[in-house]
Amino acid sequence: MEVQFLESVINELCTLLTRKRELAQQWAQNTEAMFFAPSERLEEYIAQRDEMLRVLGEIDERMSALCAGRTDISAALDGTRDGRNLSPALKAVHACALEAQASANAAMRGEWAVRQRLEGERKALLEKITAAQTTGAAARQYHRAARMATGVMRPAEEHKTI
């Protein structure tokens, strides 16, 4: 009976981890689309992300419930530990956990890359704005000097009080 229970837990954990990996991959694929989407679609992307986070929370809760009191299963889910000392039945769970962790890391790297790209574009835009403002001020000074030189514009005279 214990073996059957353990097999069902392992199968469910593998299914949950596969779903978690799929959500992480979907998150990574939608990252760039979300950041560069028109503002009309932003609300839709935020709703999709909120739904993904809700589903990920449910998956984590279910996995915690399945692992309650089972240190061997918890060790298999911990992707940072070595899987060599696990039982053969739990090695599949360990492999799924490593895949899910790799997908989550890829999603985070994707978000970081997009954030860096956006920061670079923001800096470039600020430089263009600063250059345009500087050029505009210089052009105004040039045109003002040209109008004064041609007599179109007279220098401001000081008002005299009577």
What digits encode the pLDDT tens for the residues 51-104? 988 998 888 888 888 777 766 666 666 655 555 666 776 777 777 777 777 777
For 43-47, 72-76, 139-143, which range has the lowest pLDDT when averaged over its residues?
Answer: 72-76
Which value, to the nearest 10 degrees, does the dihedral of the CA atoms of residues 44, 46, 48, 54 take? -150
Tell me whether residue 99 is in a domain.
yes
* Number of separate domains in the chain: 1
Tell me whether residue 140 is in a domain.
no
pLDDT of residue 105: 79
Boundaries of domain holding 87: 2-118
Q: Is the pLDDT of residue 42 over 50?
A: yes
CATH code of the domain in which 82 resides? 1.20.58
What predicted TM-score, i.e. pTM, was given to this entire model? Answer: 0.56
Tell me whether residue 123 is in a domain.
no
pLDDT of residue 35: 73
pLDDT of residue 136: 76
Tell me whether residue 152 is in a domain.
no
All residues at 6 or more sequence positions from 159 whose CB lies less than 8 Å from its CB, including other chains? none
Instruction: Give residue 153's pLDDT band: very low, low, confident or very high (50, 70, 90).
Output: low
Instruction: Give residue 1's pLDDT band: very low, low, confident or very high (50, 70, 90).
Output: very low
Tell me whether residue 106 is in a domain.
yes
Within a 13 Å sphere around the CA of 85, how many CA atoms are in the beta-carbon half? 6
Q: Is the pLDDT of residue 152 over 70?
A: no
Tell me whether residue 78 is in a domain.
yes
Residue with more model confidence, 55 or 111: 55
Tell me whether residue 45 is in a domain.
yes
Tell me whether residue 65 is in a domain.
yes
Return the closest-CA partner of residue 13 out of 71, 83, 120, 90: 90
Give mean pLDDT, residues 125-133: 81
